[in-house]
Structure 1
């Protein structure tokens, strides 16, 4: 029997984000458990589970998108950790954020780089 979208998504979330992903999902339980369920099923059960890109490429794209948006620091930090968890090097992540200066502007790239600086400090603590 095939796994449900929820089961597949939960496994994928755990393999990418580890405890940080679980914390995001848990933090939604008291206010909107449906949003937690949808976050597991759609992004992780459907999109992240597709065969078209490897997980490292998906995280690079996600870091670029969240950096470009410029107002998603909590989600960006989760995905910066995820990118490191799936094998992106610090240098690759810095280059992705730097690349966003061209398309999203310096403020977005600065915010992204400062978020990355915080993530690295937290991981060393």
Structure 2
């Protein structure tokens, strides 16, 4: 009888939890506001455009990005935004299949004060852990962002134009 009672109690708890209205993510201790602020600081208008595009197809996924990624994680104290962005650049480079997101976060790293040479070094380090193809793709993504923003690395400054082959 005790096990049957326990099973009924558990079923009632689950049913009650499913039936109870849940607080919206935006109501959870200001996480939406923190997320919106962090998103704007890191990604600027481009991030807002990406999230709004996602929300048109999947409102929940857009909210998760703002509330969880930016409101809960990127907004945490204890690690500077530059460090968080460099870690994100490393992870996206290592994945090797997230070029659009990598470009957003390379730009985000620049927006929060990371130096272009630091970004390049982090991507180069990923050659050891994720392989050369991932690092090469990461460098290509970073170069696109640097060119778009008119940013130059030390190596770019030192490079001499290559004469055309004859």
Mapped partners of 2:46, 2:139: distance in 1? 19
Residue in structure 1 matching 2:120, options 85, 91, 94: 94
Tell me how far 1:3 sits from its aligned partner.
Answer: 5.3
Mapped partners of 1:27, 1:4: distance in 2? 23
Residue in structure 2 matching 1:29, options 40, 50, 55: 55
> Do residues 81 (structure 1) and 107 (structure 2) align?
yes
> Do residues 16 (structure 1) and 42 (structure 2) align?
yes
Aligned-residue CA RMSD in angstroms?
Answer: 1.5
- TM-score normalized by structure 2? 0.72
Residue in structure 2 matching 1:104, options 130, 133, 142: 130
Contact (CA 8 Å) 2:55, 2:63: kept in 1 or not? Answer: no
Paired residue for 1:51? 77
- Structure 1: segments with no counterpart, 5+ residues: none
Tell me how far 1:36 sits from its aligned partner.
Answer: 0.5
Residues 54-94 of structure 1 show CA distances to partners (whole Å, capped at 9, x for unaligned) of 11100010000000000000000000000001111111000
Contact (CA 8 Å) 2:103, 2:142: kept in 1 or not? Answer: yes
- Structure 2: segments with no counterpart, 5+ residues: 1-27, 151-166
Off by >2 Å, runs of 4+ in structure 1: none
Higher Cα Rg, which structure:
2
Mapped partners of 2:128, 2:59: distance in 1? 38
Paired residue for 1:38? 64
SS of equivalent to 1:87: coil
Mapped partners of 2:124, 2:55: distance in 1? 35
- TM-score normalized by structure 1? 0.94
Question: Aligned residue pairs: how many?
Answer: 124
